[in-house]
């Protein structure tokens, strides 16, 4: 039985090991972030203090943008991010009323996912 990465001595089962590997793979080149409003998320490692989060109509996820010093009013796209509370149109719609759920279709011919 292997010890966990943090050295606590808790056994690492095959499912925990698989989860750890998958999460590690997803976080390559990314870092944890917090916003001035207290939201947490994951963004490209190139993110800097002062960058902004934008939610674009029709976009798949929020994006990190940086003000451009070359183009007045312009921005550079840094990359997409995950931001808890902004992934299912909450930025546009606000929180759903109690007992309502988000429904997303994963792709043509696939089942719906309810969150």
Please give the tally of structural domains in the chain.
Answer: 1
Supply the range of the domain harboring residue 73: 30-114
- Domain-located, residue 8: no
**For 36-55, how does the pLDDT look when each residue is reduced to its tens digit (9 = 90+)?**
888 888 999 999 999 998 88
Q: Helix/strand/coil (H, E, C) string of the chain?
A: CCECCCCCCCECCHHHHHHHHHHHHHCCCEEEEECCCCCEEEEECCCCCCCEEECCCCCCCCEEEEECCCCCCCEEEEEECEECCCCCCHHHHCCCCCCCCCEEECCCCCCEEEC
**For 77-93, how does the pLDDT look when each residue is reduced to its tens digit (9 = 90+)?**
999 998 887 776 666 66
pLDDT value for 105: 57
**For 53-64, how does the pLDDT look when each residue is reduced to its tens digit (9 = 90+)?**
888 877 778 889
- Domain-located, residue 36: yes
- Domain-located, residue 40: yes
């Amino acid at each position: 039985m292997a010890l966990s990465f943090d050295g606590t001595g808790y056994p690492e089962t095959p499912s925990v090991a698989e989860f750890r590997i998958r999460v590690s793979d997803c976080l390559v080149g990314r870092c944890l972030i917090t916003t001035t409003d207290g939201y947490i998320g994951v963004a490209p490692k190139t993110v800097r203090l002062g960058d902004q989060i934008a939610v674009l109509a029709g976009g798949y996820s929020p994006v990190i943008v940086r003000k451009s010093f070359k183009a007045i009013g312009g921005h550079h796209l840094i990359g997409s991010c995950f931001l808890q509370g902004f992934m299912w149109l909450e930025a546009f719609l606000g929180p759903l009323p109690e007992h309502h759920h988000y429904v997303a279709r994963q792709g043509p011919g696939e089942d719906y996912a309810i969150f």
